[in-house]
Structure 1
Amino acid sequence: MAITLRNLAWTLAPLALAACGSKPAADSNIDSLDAELAGGNTTGNSRDPAMMSALQDQIMVDPALTGQANNDAVRPPQQPYSGATPPDSVAPSKAESATLADGTGSSSGGSKPTPAPSGDCPQCKIKRDSVTLGALARRQADKRTSGCARGLRYSTAWVERLPADLPLYPDARVDEAAGATDGGCSLRVVSFSTGASIQNVIDWYYGRVTAAGYTAEHQADGGQHVLGGVRGKDGGAYVIYLEKRGDGRTEVDLVANNGN
């Protein structure tokens, strides 16, 4: 009996060793699939030639269409956004639109060379000492203008009610405006800027006021210029202050009585 068991043990030993070193059928299948995916098995139909060719070919790019990529994408701005509120702009009338912004023409009167400034410039000091448009109007020598200045109300809508013979300069950008109508007043005060030179602006207004029957006195102190006058038939009066700003634009303050 002992001999039979010993022989049986020797017979079963190789089978046990073979069983320990072998893998389950499922593991063998996974290894075979990995080999095929990795390209290790190149025989038969283990790989799809069309797919492998598509994967290995270079990507084709149409140069004519590359510039159209992401046309609808949201792009960052070319410069930082500004939170500043732009000044109001008032478009000129059709008649004024025909006038060049450099002051070379006008729908009424035309530009005329302004005479050289005469003597001192008391109006220049008035402008320097006035912080607001109301203060500027109150300091005027014309009694009607200074009296009406106490009832000024601020709104850019007053620009539309400037006297017809003292309109807004073409291409003007309005910064502030005020007016008064109570007690028979017809006062308009407007502050604006333009890209035209001081000389072009003052010549443009000089041509208009003289054509409308106003007197016109030119005062200056350094870079500050003032044009002012009155009209006897209706007691109208105006003063125009002009000065070059730091950004190169011409700043204009217009005080006009007898507004619409």
Structure 2
Amino acid sequence: MAGLSACADEAAQDIAPETDPIVQRALNDPLMIEPDLASQNLGNSALEFDIGHPLPPENDGPAAVLAAREEAFAVLGGSSGLKDLPASGSEVELAEAEAFDTVGRLDRLSISKSCEAQLRFSGTWVARLPERLQPFPRGSTKEAIGSATGNCRAVAALYLTPVPIEDVLRYHFSRLDEGGARASYTKGETWHSLTGSIDGGRYEITARELPSGLAEVGIAYLGAA
């Protein structure tokens, strides 16, 4: 009996705990979430984030790019839904602090200090972005932060994708344009930016191509207080 009891205990340890259905829906998306980012607190401490962290090999090859594009076309209702970018406005560049992490992206939208103090890290914040600001399909989320209190509605996320940066920007522009939230486009030596208003708030999408060839994209949304 003791042996059977020990086996039963070991089997019980192998059973995975149930996942909250709301969290599961948020995470059961083509996006991959960094688990060690969940439930982190801003805490006025220095943030460390490796923007050059590569995608797993199986996620950055030609097959992955093709699969991501097919999903993007499905979202847009076909390849004809992928619109060209408008003419670029004045040049845009990000300061080192702005490019470092998601907080820097929200700083570009002039987030208040009181709102910034309420921000919390969690991969599930990606699902709280407005629908038309969602990342390119199959993108790999590296960091997400947000707040949903009454006087602070803010979300920002950084993600990587092997899809060429122009296609990524055209996808984001098309998603916004079809929803009536036409974006202004600016381009610098390194950075690209799409800015505008949506769902009663302001947004900015910033993107650049990393030396690895991956596109790094930051999405920041600041709702009206």
TM-score norm. by structure 2 comes to 0.61
1:107 maps to which of 56, 75, 85: 75
- The one-letter code matched in structure 2 to 1:135 is G
The residue that corresponds to 1:226 in the other structure is 193
C-alpha change, 1:132 and 1:107, in structure 2 (3 Å) is closer
Q: Distance in 1 between matches of 2:173 and 2:157?
A: 17
CA offset digits 1:65-88 (Å, max 9, x no partner): xxxxxxxxxxxxxxxxxxxxxxxx
Structure 1 residues 114-129: aligned runs within 5 Å: 114-121=85-92, 124-126=93-95, 128-129=96-97
What is the Cα deviation at residue 229 of structure 1?
Answer: 0.7
Q: Distance in 1 between matches of 2:116 and 2:74?
A: 30
C-alpha change, 1:229 and 1:147, in structure 2 (3 Å) is farther
Structure 1 vs Structure 2: percent identity of aligned residues?
26
Q: Distance in 1 between matches of 2:102 and 2:146?
A: 10
C-alpha change, 1:91 and 1:163, in structure 2 (3 Å) is same
1:244 and 2:182 matched:
no
C-alpha change, 1:199 and 1:220, in structure 2 (3 Å) is same
Taking only aligned residues, the RMSD between alpha carbons, in angstroms, comes to: 2.8
Q: Distance in 2 between matches of 1:227 and 1:147?
A: 26
Structure 1 residues 47-66: aligned runs within 5 Å: none
C-alpha change, 1:101 and 1:229, in structure 2 (3 Å) is same
1:177 and 2:115 matched:
no
Q: Distance in 2 between matches of 1:222 and 1:167?
A: 25
1:256 and 2:221 matched:
yes
C-alpha change, 1:220 and 1:108, in structure 2 (3 Å) is same
1:140 and 2:109 matched:
yes
C-alpha change, 1:191 and 1:116, in structure 2 (3 Å) is same
Q: Distance in 1 between matches of 2:215 and 2:169?
A: 11
Contact 2:139 2:161 in 1 (8 A): yes
CA offset digits 1:192-228 (Å, max 9, x no partner): 1001011100000101111122131111111311111
- The one-letter code matched in structure 2 to 1:180 is S
Structure 1 residues 1-260: aligned runs within 5 Å: 91-92=29-30, 101-102=68-69, 105-108=73-76, 110-121=81-92, 124-126=93-95, 128-130=96-98, 131-141=100-110, 148-231=115-198, 234-258=199-223
Q: Distance in 2 between matches of 1:196 and 1:90?
A: 21
Contact 2:184 2:194 in 1 (8 A): yes
Q: Distance in 2 between matches of 1:177 and 1:132?
A: 9
Q: Larger radius of gyration, structure 1 or 2? A: 1
Question: SS state of the match for residue 160, structure 2?
Answer: strand
TM-score norm. by structure 1 comes to 0.54
Contact 1:137 1:146 in 2 (8 A): no
- The one-letter code matched in structure 1 to 2:105 is L
C-alpha change, 1:215 and 1:183, in structure 2 (3 Å) is same
